[in-house]
């Protein structure tokens, strides 16, 4: 039997929960092929931040045409995704009827509705198409935009446009019949329709006892939420295996710990707003989760606000910073501005090919936090070319500051030539000395591409291959510690304290939750692995190579061990169980040695 979290054994509170338990037992593994999709972070456009539910086909098509004409589509922004507002109702036969008042091309001569003409049109423009649904019975706008003119209409059952209970039929319709390529699946239907919600009290909607209690993790039901998304993922894979799945559960229900089994991207936080603080908070929510991302599985801090509010054309410094931050952590780049009102300057920011290339680097590493304070961040993202790294020097504050890194911080050699390319100023120069430093204006981010030589090409540190490290079991659940409890990090403990070396987070060390399992894909490329397990727990840790236990021992906090890994594909580090109060376990001084 797979590892079923203890919480799942709680007595289910209602029918949905009981069904979900059964589903989870049958679908708890990654669907075959899911990892092959979306090798680099998805890029595209979504109307939500610009139009909310006051969207229509003309606005979407005008923006799609501009994506093509401006060159942004060519630069990679190819998905055009519909968001909330498109449904009219669920018909008696279960089929969804589209609101043709705002999507006229969906009205077919026989009186039925279909998105096929709309999707064909986008495909004909060389674009891809995304649709939006909800994992529960009702959607987000029905709760949060109650005055919207574009809410589903009809009797209570007809207004249940969410996919719960209709997973297979909806998936066949959206991805088989209509031909959409991308699914954004929201979660308000399982969060906002408890017996006390306004719409339930006044009889507009049916009650569904919440499985997600926003910002109250201990009252959420992660295993059941996971089961529901696993169920829908299976329906999508059956209907159209190449469809991308975005799980939009806002970082709740421990979604970041399990979403990678089913989805190509998942939201790590609540909705972004077009102000500096919100942008940073959303960035932080994803930036902490380096070890969960990699080709085919991306942390999603939400759509870009470039072009809106604090990131509009009068704030080019903030607009560039926002895009740089998303690029350094390999976040999906989903634009959400009205391109019909965007100036050439904004289009140029969004279309900066060198910045996009950092986000889309084929190695798929999410940038690693080298240092983090309330005022400043420094992140480094290893690129596919050996010795090439992207660095973001981030001024979060409203004062000018100076930030810098040494070549040693980047594990680059001081010998030989190091080229530093500033991807916004376009300045390119050979580095003199061993330190790269920038004076930054308030809110400025310098995004640099450093082209040097690896200090030791035969030794690879975990911060140089984060995409090859995956958390396959989050270990002991700490729901009371909230969304900032991350079961495995580089240079930080799960609760967030830095693991310091020379005054900086030691990104060669993994801080993990007790009882967690972390898998390193060595791909038979490393002859030896060195590691110093450290923790106070009385139980032993275990190291497994390709399914075989190679070491079981108690950590003494001192000795480094050397593992012969010739021919090993996957190495698994199993942390000992601990008390619920402990700070986790350390896999210190980890290094992978080629020869």
- Residues at the site binding ligand GLA, with contacts judged by CB under 6 A: 48, 83-84, 140-141, 186, 248, 250, 271
Q: Closest approach of Cβ 281 to ligand GLA, in Å? A: 14
* Cα–Cα distance, 385 to 389 (Å, whole number): 8
Nearest to 332 by CA among 341, 319, 340, 323: 323
Closer residue to ligand GLA (CB): 250 or 276: 250
Closer residue to ligand GLA (CB): 52 or 116: 52
Closer residue to ligand GLA (CB): 204 or 453: 204
What string of DSSP letters covers 265-313? EEE-SS---SSHHHHHHHHHHHHTTGGG-BTTBEEE-----TTSGGGST
At residue 462's C-alpha, the angle toward residues 456 and 467, to 5°, is: 120
* Cα–Cα distance, 270 to 557 (Å, whole number): 39
Closer residue to ligand GLA (CB): 85 or 217: 85
Closer residue to ligand GLA (CB): 162 or 505: 162
Alpha helix ranges (H) inside 364-417: none
Closer residue to ligand GLA (CB): 158 or 271: 271
Question: Which residues on adjacent β-strands are paired with residue 300?
Answer: 267
Closer residue to ligand GLA (CB): 199 or 316: 199
The residues near 19 (Cβ < 8 Å, ≥ 6 apart) are none
**Reduced 3-state DSSP string for 411-465:** CECCCCCCEEEECCCCCEEECCCCEEEEEECCCCEEEEEEECCECCCCEECHHHC
Closer residue to ligand GLA (CB): 271 or 338: 271
Q: Closest approach of Cβ 182 to ligand GLA, in Å? A: 13
Q: Closest approach of Cβ 30 to ligand GLA, in Å? A: 24
Closer residue to ligand GLA (CB): 248 or 363: 248
Instruction: Enter the DSSP assignment of 105.
Output: G
Closer residue to ligand GLA (CB): 38 or 138: 138
Q: Closest approach of Cβ 401 to ligand GLA, in Å? A: 33
Q: Closest approach of Cβ 306 to ligand GLA, in Å? A: 16
CB 229 within 8 A of CB 209: no
Q: Closest approach of Cβ 225 to ligand GLA, in Å? A: 15
Q: Closest approach of Cβ 134 to ligand GLA, in Å? A: 8
Q: Which residues of 444-480 are buried (b: 16+ CB within 10 A; e: fewer)?
A: bbbbbbbbbbbbeeebbbbbbbbbbbbbbbbbbbbbe
* Cα–Cα distance, 43 to 40 (Å, whole number): 9
Burial status of residue 93 (CB atoms within 10 A of its CB: 0-12, 13-18, 19 or more): exposed
* Cα–Cα distance, 400 to 114 (Å, whole number): 54
Outline where DSSP puts E strands in 74-141: 79-81, 87-90, 96-98, 128-134
* Cα–Cα distance, 3 to 476 (Å, whole number): 12
* Cα–Cα distance, 75 to 352 (Å, whole number): 8
* Cα–Cα distance, 312 to 306 (Å, whole number): 6
Q: Closest approach of Cβ 53 to ligand GLA, in Å? A: 7
Q: Closest approach of Cβ 132 to ligand GLA, in Å? A: 6
CB 113 within 8 A of CB 86: no
Q: Closest approach of Cβ 302 to ligand GLA, in Å? A: 7
Q: Closest approach of Cβ 142 to ligand GLA, in Å? A: 9
| Half-sphere exposure for 395 (CA within 13 Å, toward CB) | 21
Q: Closest approach of Cβ 250 to ligand GLA, in Å? A: 6
Q: Which residues of 28-52 are buried (b: 16+ CB within 10 A; e: fewer)?
A: bebbeebbebbebbbbbbbbbbbbb
* Cα–Cα distance, 36 to 13 (Å, whole number): 37
Closer residue to ligand GLA (CB): 190 or 573: 190
Q: Closest approach of Cβ 278 to ligand GLA, in Å? A: 13
In the complex, residue closest to ligand GLA by CB = 140
Closer residue to ligand GLA (CB): 284 or 305: 305
Residue 496 is encoded by which pair of tokens?
């967030």
Closer residue to ligand GLA (CB): 48 or 492: 48
């Amino acid at each position: 039997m797979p590892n079923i979290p203890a919480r799942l054994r709680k007595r289910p509170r209602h029918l949905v929960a009981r069904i979900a338990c059964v589903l989870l037992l049958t679908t708890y593994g990654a669907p075959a092929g899911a990892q092959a999709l979306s090798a680099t972070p998805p890029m595209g456009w979504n109307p939500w931040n610009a139009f909310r539910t006051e969207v229509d086909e003309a606005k979407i098509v005008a923006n799609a045409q501009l994506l093509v004409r401006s060159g942004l589509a060519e630069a990679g922004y190819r998905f055009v995704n519909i968001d909330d507002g498109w449904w009219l109702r669920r018909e008696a036969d279960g089929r969804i009827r589209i609101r043709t008042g705002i999507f006229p091309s969906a009205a077919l001569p026989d009186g039925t509705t279909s998105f096929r003409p709309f999707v064909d049109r986008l495909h004909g423009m060389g674009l891809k198409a995304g649709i939006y649904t909800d994992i529960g019975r009702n959607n987000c706008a029905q709760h949060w935009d109650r005055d919207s003119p574009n809410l589903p209409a009809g009797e209570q059952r007809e207004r249940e446009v969410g996919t719960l209970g209709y997973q297979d039929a909806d998936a066949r319709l959206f991805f088989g019949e209509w031909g959409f390529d991308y699914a954004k699946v929201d979660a308000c239907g399982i969060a906002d329709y408890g017996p006390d919600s306004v719409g339930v009290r006044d009889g507009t909607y049916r009650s569904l006892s919440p499985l997600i209690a926003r910002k109250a993790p201990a009252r959420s039901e992660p295993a059941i939420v996971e089961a529901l998304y696993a169920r829908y993922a299976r329906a999508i894979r059956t209907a159209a295996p190449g469809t991308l799945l975005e799980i939009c559960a806002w970082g709740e229900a421990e979604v970041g710990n399990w979403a990678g089994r089913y989805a190509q991207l998942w939201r790590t936080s609540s909705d972004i707003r077009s102000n500096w603080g919100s942008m940073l908070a959303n960035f932080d929510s994803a930036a902490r989760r380096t070890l969960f991302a990699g080709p085919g599985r991306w942390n999603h801090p939400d759509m870009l606000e470039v072009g809106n509010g604090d990131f509009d054309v009068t704030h080019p410094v903030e607009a560039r910073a926002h895009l740089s931050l998303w690029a350094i952590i390999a976040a999906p780049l989903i634009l959400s501005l009205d391109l019909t009102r965007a100036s050439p300057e904004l289009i140029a920011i969004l279309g900066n090919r060198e910045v996009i290339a950092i986000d889309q680097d084929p190695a798929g590493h999410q940038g690693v936090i080298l240092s983090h304070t309330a005022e400043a961040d420094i992140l480094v993202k290893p690129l596919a070319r050996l010795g090439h790294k992207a660095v973001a020097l981030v001024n979060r504050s409203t004062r000018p500051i100076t930030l810098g890194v040494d070549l040693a911080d980047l594990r680059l050699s001081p010998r030989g030539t190091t080229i530093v390319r500033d991807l916004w100023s376009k300045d390119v120069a050979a580095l003199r000395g061993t330190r790269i430093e920038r004076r930054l204006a308030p809110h400025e981010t310098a995004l640099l591409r450093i082209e040097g030589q690896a200090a030791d090409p035969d030794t690879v540190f975990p911060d140089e291959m984060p995409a090859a490290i995956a958390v396959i079991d989050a270990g002991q659940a700490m729901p009371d510690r909230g969304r900032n409890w991350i079961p495995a990090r580089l240079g930080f403990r799960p609760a967030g304290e830095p693991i310091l070396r020379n005054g900086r987070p030691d990104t060669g060390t993994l801080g993990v939750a007790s009882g967690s399992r972390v898998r390193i894909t060595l791909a038979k490329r490393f002859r030896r692995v060195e590691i110093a397990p450290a923790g106070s727990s009385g139980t032993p840790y275990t190291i497994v190579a390709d399914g075989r236990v190679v070491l079981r021992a108690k950590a003494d906090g001192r000795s480094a061990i050397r593992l012969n890994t010739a021919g090993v594909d996957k190495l698994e580090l199993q942390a000992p169980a601990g008390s619920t109060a402990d700070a986790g376990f350390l896999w210190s001084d980890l290094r992978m040695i080629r020869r």
